[in-house]
Structure 1
């Protein structure tokens, strides 16, 4: 578990100063998780991303991009394994960031990050006592 928890910290240190361009490749996931369907890796990494977002250590844009990259890895993992269920809480955190990607009002006067992402992340972290 420690190796997986270290992934995000190490990855972010490697790309410090370039967070706007940071991407997680499948090769990064394989290196740290061992295999693409390692749900424990996705869950622990997603919880760390959510906590860093809530603590304002990472921006919404960076977290959303990281979660989208990890989602691609989950889809690869589903294809390589016999898994039939998505990892939780990973998927809930992915959905929380996804909810901030689009406006619901046609005049875009709403704030989907404040209205959806922030409360969803707060609740998910509360449930997981982080």
Structure 2
């Protein structure tokens, strides 16, 4: 199972224009385990691969901020409840979307998504392209 397939499935949960509280479905621990079993990877690898897909899709303007933000917020609980190595890429992506959720220093003249999230995600994507995390992904099998 590829990260793109998981993101496509997530698009059926987190629909454009539907507020978080009004969603009919959110991702569950059962979803996480199903995806992990399908890809044959660790939970940490799964979370990093989903985060990579979100970062790449958002950076290419293929995914909206609200969609990505809802996904990382709902993944935070399963990630936190995972033992073993922590998914570093996931937390970088989570932090980027979290930074776009609020005004910084009460500066209402700037859009936090454009000032914080977009450049943070661009940096993650740059590191993915050039850094040691740019390895064959378990989900691309």
- Shorter chain as normaliser: what TM range? 0.7 to 0.9
Query: How far did 1:4 drift?
Result: 4.6
Distance (Å, rounded) in 1 between the aligned partners of 2:13 and 2:87: 26
1:8 and 2:11 equivalent? no
Does the 8 A contact of 2:13 with 2:26 survive in 1?
no
Q: How many residue pairs were aligned?
A: 120
Bigger mean CA offset, 107-116 vs 19-28: 19-28
SS at structure 2 position matched to 1:57 = coil
Stretches of structure 1 lacking an aligned partner (at least 5 in a row): none
Q: Which residue of 1 aligns with 2:63?
A: 58
Stretches of structure 2 lacking an aligned partner (at least 5 in a row): 135-141
Does the 8 A contact of 1:100 with 1:112 survive in 2?
yes
Does the 8 A contact of 1:67 with 1:94 survive in 2?
yes
SS at structure 1 position matched to 2:88 = coil
Of structures 1 and 2, the one scoring higher in RCO (CA 8 A, sep 6+) is: 2
Q: Which residue of 2 aligns with 1:23?
A: 26
SS at structure 1 position matched to 2:110 = coil
| 1:33 equivalent among 33, 36, 40 | 36
Does the 8 A contact of 1:4 with 1:32 survive in 2?
no
RMSD: 2.3
Q: Which residue of 1 aligns with 2:97?
A: 97
